[in-house]
């Protein structure tokens, strides 16, 4: 008889940690792409607020999607929780810097994370779970 090996996604902390880390990475990449487009293509910074909103929504969506896809349960709630964790990280960094971030970002991240969680749960089950 083989031993039962615990999956990486079975643990709540590691599952959310990986999802939030992936979401933050996607948000940072999206922010960089938007900054490059703004500087080199449009030659102005008038799309700065739009690119910030897009990168926040991308970050929440992909963290919720990854969490929902691999954990396979409670997609809307766990996706929204991933968005709230990302907001907590952003809030902590902004308080260290000396500024305060808007609670509207919390709503954007929670909603986009919930949408990502719903789509992640409804996708095909991955063949190899980590």
User: Mind listing the pLDDT tens digit for each residue in 24-40?
Assistant: 899 999 988 888 888 88
* Residue 25 pLDDT: 92
User: Mind listing the pLDDT tens digit for each residue in 69-108?
Assistant: 887 788 889 889 999 999 999 999 999 998 888 889 889 9
In whole numbers, what is the pLDDT of the chain averaged over residues? 83
* Residue 126 pLDDT: 65
pLDDT interval class at 116 (50, 70, 90): very high
Residue 82's Cβ-count burial label (10 Å; 0-12, 13-18, 19+) is buried
Distance CA 61, CA 79 (A): 8
Domain boundaries in the chain? Answer: 15-121
């Amino acid at each position: 008889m083989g031993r039962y090996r615990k999956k990486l996604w079975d643990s709540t902390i590691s599952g959310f940690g990986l999802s939030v880390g992936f979401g933050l990475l996607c948000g940072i990449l999206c922010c960089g792409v938007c900054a490059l487009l703004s500087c080199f293509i449009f030659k102005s910074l008038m799309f700065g607020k739009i690119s910030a909103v897009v990168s926040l929504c991308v970050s929440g969506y992909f963290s919720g999607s990854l969490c929902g896809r691999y954990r396979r349960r409670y997609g809307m709630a766990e996706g929204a929780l991933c968005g709230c964790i990302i907001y907590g990280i952003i809030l902590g960094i902004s308080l260290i810097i000396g500024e305060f971030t808007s609670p509207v970002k919390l709503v954007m991240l929670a909603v986009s994370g919930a949408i990502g969680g719903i789509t992640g749960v409804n996708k095909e089950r991955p063949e190899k779970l980590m």
